Amino acid sequence: MSICVALVLAAGRGKRFGSDKRLAWLPSGQTVLAATVERALTCFDEVHVVLRHDDDPRQLGLDSRVALIRAEYADEGMGASLAAGIGALAVNPAVAVAVLLGDMPWIETQTLRQLCAQADSERILMPLHHGQRGHPVLFGRRFWPALLGANGDQGGRQVIGDNPQACVRIEVQDRGVVRDIDLPGDLAG
C-alpha cells in the first residue's frame, strides 16, 4: 500500500498560454506534462493524472504506468478536476494524496520525498519557498470528503481555509514549488 499517492491535475485549458501548454517543449527536451509526470513517477508508487474527457494520453506522451482519471466537468475549473480525481481515489487505501499541477515540472524529487515522508491522514502539508506557499499540497485522507465539493478555480483552497489547525507549512529551498507555466516565456529553465 502506498502511504501517499500523486494526483496530477492536467485537465485545464491554459488559455493564457495561447496553445496546449501541456505539449510545450522545455529546454530539457521534454514536454511540460511529461516532465511533471516523470518527476512524480520517480517519487510515488502510484501516479494518477486527471485529464479532460477527450484527451489522448499517447499524444500527451504519458507514461503507461500512470492511472488516468477523466474529469467530465474540467471546463468548470480546477476544483472540478480535483473533485473528479479525489472521487476516483475513494477506494484507494492511501492515507494522503499529493496534489500536483501539470504545469509545474521543476519541483525537485528531494522535495517530493520530504513531503511524502511527513504525510499522514490528519494533516494538510504545504511547501513554502521564502514564505510563499507552493505545490504540491498533500491532503490527509480525513480531508478527501471535503475535496469532493471543490469547484471553480479554487482547487483545495477552501478546505485549507476551513482547517487551519491541520495545516503544516514546510519551508523548502526548492524554487520549483512556486514556479508554474502560464505564458510561453515561463518555459525557460
What is the per-residue pLDDT for 86? 97
What is the CATH classification number for the domain harbouring 143? 3.90.550.10
Domain count, the chain: 1
Range of 57's domain?
A: 4-187
Q: Which residues of the chain fall below pLDDT 50?
A: none
Asked if residue 90 lies in contact with residue 67, where contact means CB atoms within 8 angstroms, the answer is: no
What is the per-residue pLDDT for 1? 53
What is the per-residue pLDDT for 153? 77
168 backbone dihedrals φ, ψ, rounded to 5°? -120, 120
Task: Please tell me the distance from the alpha carbon of residue 110 to that of residue 137, in angstroms, as a whole number.
Answer: 15
